[in-house]
Structure formats: structure tokens, C-alpha cells
């Protein structure tokens, strides 16, 4: 279980959360949480979990969804024994930390929680990898520290095979 700082809590996004007050420094990330995250969640397209600070502000968040990728989009070593069709994936659609809370390790903790959520879901709903799109090179470097790799021909789209996720989760249990 991921430990967040004392007084912080991670919960499902609700209408009462001050989404418009969230400022990460990434315009697309801020627009997502302010204008689209709740609507997508209400339509059952994705789920957003927010990290709420001591003042009930959104310190950070992540959004998860499901999707598919064509087997040809993944590297041959991952799909060599899989059917030649669209394959199920978990999607880490968004992750952001409010500027007030940068450099406190919250992004790492939010990612760890998102990965734990994906792993738990993977015990019920199968998927071959977690896929995400990076907003910039700094985000790409952050995810690569967690063993996310580039999709062939798509340098800003990364993936983490389920087998690697399972290894990460078993290392957390040690």
C-alpha cells in the first residue's frame, strides 16, 4: 500500500473537488482535470483518483482507462506468442501534481498507486501492458525510471508489460 504524507488522502474524483484550482504547470494536464476528468468518469470512460491535501485542495491526480493496441504496435518480444489482433491494455491517461506540491515525491507516490490499481485490476480484467503518452521529455524520463519503454516508432508513447508490472508489485511486497 502506498503511503501518502500525513493529512493527505487519495479518493475518487467528485464534483465537490476544486478542479479549477489545480495548476501543474502543464496546460493540457490542468485542462483535463478542470474540464474533462469528471465528465469522462461520469460516462464510465475513465476513473480519476485525486490526492487531497490538508486544505482539501487537489495536490495531484491520475486517470486510468482501458484500451486496445494492435499487436503490431508492440515489440515482437512482447507479442510473439499472442494472437494477431487488437490486444487489451490499461491506459494511464493522465497524472499531474499541483505546483504547490512539486518536489515532494507525490508524483512517484501517485504513479505507484496507479500501478498498484492496475495490477489489482489485472487480477480480474486481463491486459498485456500499461500504455501512456508523455506530455514532454521530462515526463518521459520520469516514466522510464519505472521501466516504461518506448512503443516502436512512437517515442512519446510508452508501455510497461504486465509481466514487468507484476515484478514491480512483488518487489513492493518484499
What is the tally of structural domains in the chain? 1
Q: Give, in order, the Cα–Cα distances in Å from 148 to each of 10, 39, 167.
A: 24, 28, 13
Indicate which CATH number applies to the domain containing 25: 3.40.630.30
pLDDT at 39 over 90: yes
Which of 72, 76, 64, 151 has the alpha carbon at shortest distance from 116? 64
Is 87 inside any structural domain? yes
Q: Can you give the pLDDT at residue 173?
A: 62
> Is residue 22, in this structure, part of any structural domain at all?
yes
pTM flag (> 0.85): yes
For residue 3, is pLDDT > 70? yes
Q: Which of 22, 32, 127, 143 is catalytic?
A: 143
Residue 102 lies in a domain: yes
Residue 150 has pLDDT above 80, yes or no: yes
Kindly state whether residue 50 falls inside one of the protein's structural domains: yes
Mean pLDDT of 17-38: 97
Reduced to 3 states, what is the DSSP secondary structure of residue 88?
A: strand
4 assigned to some structural domain: no
- Is there a domain that residue 1 lies in? no
Residue 2 covered by a domain: no
143 among known catalytic residues: yes
CA–CA dist 143, 151 (Å, integer): 13
Q: Give the pLDDT band of residue 80 (cuts 50, 70, 90).
A: confident
Please report which confidence band the pLDDT of residue 174 belongs to, taking 50, 70 and 90 as the band edges: low
Above 90 in pLDDT, residue 48? yes
**9-12 and 154-161 strand pairing:** unpaired
| Residue 156 belongs to a domain | yes
Domain of residue 56: give its range: 9-173
Amino acid at each position: 500500500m502506498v503511503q501518502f504524507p500525513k493529512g493527505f488522502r487519495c479518493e475518487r474524483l467528485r464534483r465537490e473537488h476544486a478542479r479549477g484550482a489545480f495548476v501543474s504547470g502543464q496546460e493540457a494536464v490542468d485542462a483535463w482535470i478542470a474540464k474533462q476528468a469528471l465528465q469522462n468518469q461520469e460516462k464510465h470512460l475513465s476513473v480519476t483518483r485525486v490526492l487531497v491535501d490538508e486544505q482539501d485542495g487537489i495536490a495531484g491526480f491520475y486517470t486510468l482507462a482501458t484500451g486496445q493496441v494492435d499487436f503490431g504496435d508492440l515489440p515482437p518480444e512482447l507479442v510473439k506468442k499472442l494472437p494477431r489482433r487488437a490486444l487489451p491494455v490499461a491506459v494511464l491517461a493522465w497524472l499531474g501534481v499541483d505546483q504547490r506540491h512539486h518536489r515532494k515525491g507525490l508524483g512517484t507516490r501517485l504513479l505507484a498507486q496507479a500501478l498498484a490499481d492496475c495490477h489489482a485490476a489485472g487480477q480480474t480484467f486481463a491486459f498485456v501492458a500499461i500504455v501512456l503518452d508523455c506530455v514532454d521529455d521530462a515526463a518521459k524520463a520520469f516514466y522510464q525510471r519505472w521501466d516504461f519503454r518506448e512503443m516502436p516508432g512512437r517515442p512519446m508513447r510508452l508501455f510497461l508489460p504486465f509481466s514487468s508490472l507484476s515484478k514491480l508489485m512483488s518487489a513492493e511486497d518484499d
